[in-house]
Each structure stands twice: as structure tokens, then as C-alpha cells.
Amino acid sequence: MARPVTLFSGQWADLTLEDLAKKVSEWGFDGLELACWGDHFEVDKALADDGYVQTRWDILNKYNLKCFAISTHLVGQCVCDDPIDQRHKSILSGRLWGDGDPEGVRQRCAEEVKNTAIAAKKFGVNIVNGFTGSAVWKNLYFFPPTSQDDVNKGYEDFAARWKPIMDVFAKNEVKFGLEVHPTEIAYDLITAQRALEAIDFHPAFGFNFDPSHFIHQFIDPVEFIDEFGERIWHVHVKDSRVQLTGRNSILSSHLDFGDSRRGWDFVSPGRGDVKWDQMIRALNRVGYAGPLSIEWEDSGMDRDWGAPEALKMVRSQDFTPSQVAFDAAFASKD
């Protein structure tokens, strides 16, 4: 099908957009998915300076790169999270963190996500990917006993905060793709359905499909594609590997990524447990024709070596579906 293959810039935010664009162009990528951190795409500048957006396109065009989506994972995380603490301060700009009052942080971040939709329209893309955060993730393990009333309040909080955001997205003809992910309001198929119901199936709300977050939960990514194909706005190519030894667990034992004792870890695409052939077939089946955006994360591999390898893997797997049955040619003309 020759879908465009892009690189998500979030893990490369230590580089300027110019330096990163030069690299990915030389490697053969079709484009970049720009993160709204580092200097790659700054929402406040996009809205304040009429010339800023053109500077982004000037760099992309210089290296023959396209952009189909921007991403606001770090800010989106802070819209619903409870608690808000020093971890959030480490991922936010000073203007969004402010005095650190939790509700103030949530409200400023909600306004920033709305502004991101406006900036995306100004930039000329109609997809913004990101996280939502969650007020109930901290209640994942139900002890002390957690009632469904407690959980429902979390989904009500999500709806109250995100419906007004989605209205701004719809007004600007931009869609939001939640990356279904542990710590978000949706982290598997059941919670994804619950999130859709909570937000009344808002037409601007869908998913940035990333199979790597399902693997260590023992969820088949193909099931998610088959269930929510019409709501998949964008696709991340990322891989993970389960490495249970009988001594560790999928809860990761409070160990950092890259620690070999973890029960699972992210690895370069093609080196983990994602079955890419099955995933591509499922995306073909639901008619997804958008970009495949490599989100490269592997603590054990040099990224300048791994990203080009991942690109080759994706190119080798992304095939066009057949328009005829394989045995159609067996039929006699006589």
C-alpha cells in the first residue's frame, strides 16, 4: 500500500528540528510527526507569531519531508491526572506548571490542548495525538476496596474535562488520537470502549494506535484494530518484548526502562513480540491508509542505528492488499 512512513520526533527533542530533519531525510523517511516539545512545534509560538508555522514548513520542505500529525502527549497527560506532582513538573514548561497548584495545572493544560487544535489547523494538519491522563489509574489494583462508583467518577471527570476540548477540535476540523496506554483513561479494549461512551462518542475523539502498549498486557493488538478500526486516526510503529523469568512481573518491579531484570521492555520495531504481518493485514482490512509513524524507543540500542533499521522493517512489511482471490486465475475461460 506504500503508506508514508514517518518518525515521531518526541524521543529526539534534544536535537533541533533542522538537525533531525536532515537525519531522517538521509535515512529515507517520508516525514516527521512533530512533538509539541523541544523546538519541533511550539504551540504558543504558532499562535503568537504568524510567521512561525512557515518556519516549520521551510525546514520540512528543505528536506522533502511531510507532516501528517503533531503530538501533545506531555501536556495532555496533565489534564486528568491525579495526583499532579513533581513528575508532571519535569515534563511541563514553566508557563503551564505555574505555581504547581494541581487544579491550576490541569486547567492550563486543558487550554493548551485546545490551543494545540487551533495551532494544528494553522499548520495545516488535522490530527493531534496525545494522552489524556487519568484520575483513576492510581486505583488500578482494587485494594483498599475501590467501588465502581469511584471508577465512574473518574470517567465523569474525564468527560467533563475533555468534551469542551473536543468541541474546539471539532470546530477546527481537527481530530484527537488518544494513545491507549497504561496511565491513561483507556489502556485496553474495555476501557477504550468505556472512554468512548463517557465522551458520548464525540466525533473528534479517536485513537492513535500503538501496539507496543498492548503486548505486556497480553492483549492482541489485532483485536483492537478490528474493534475500533473506524476510530483509528493514526498509527505508531513501536515494539515491546515480554521477558518474564519467574522472578519478575509485568508490573516492572519499579525498575527503569533498559534494566534487564524488568518483566517487559520496549525494543526497536521488529525485535519484539509485535506480529507486524498480522497488524498490517488488520490495518488493510479496516481501510487505514494514513502514515505509519515509527516511535523509536530502545534503551539497549543506538538510535541512529535503530531508526533506519526500523524504517527498513516497516517498508518490508507494509504490503498492498489483494483485490482478487488468489485462486481466481484458476477459473477456466472456456
- Please tell me the CATH superfamily of domain 5-330, with its number: Divalent-metal-dependent TIM barrel enzymes (3.20.20.150)
Evaluate whether 243 touches 263 at the Cβ level (below 8 Å). Answer: yes
Phi, psi for residue 129 in degrees, rounded to 5: -95, 155
Chain center to CA of 91: 16
DSSP per-residue codes, 232-252: EEEEEE-EEEE---SS--TTG
- Domain ranges for the chain, please list them: 5-330
**CA-to-CA separations, 111 to 117, 164, 207, in angstroms, rounded:** 10, 10, 21
State the pLDDT at residue 245: 97
| pTM of the predicted protein model | 0.96
- 239, 295, 303, 315: which is closest to 69 by C-alpha? 295
Q: What's the CA gap between 46 and 44, in Å, rounded?
A: 5
Within 10 Å of residue 326's Cβ, how many Cβ atoms? 7
Q: What's the CA gap between 277 and 284, in Å, rounded?
A: 11
- Could you state, in chain order, the average pLDDT of each consecutive group of 10 residues for the chain (334 residues)? 91 97 98 97 96 98 98 98 98 98 98 98 98 97 96 98 98 98 98 98 98 98 98 98 97 96 98 97 97 97 98 94 70 64
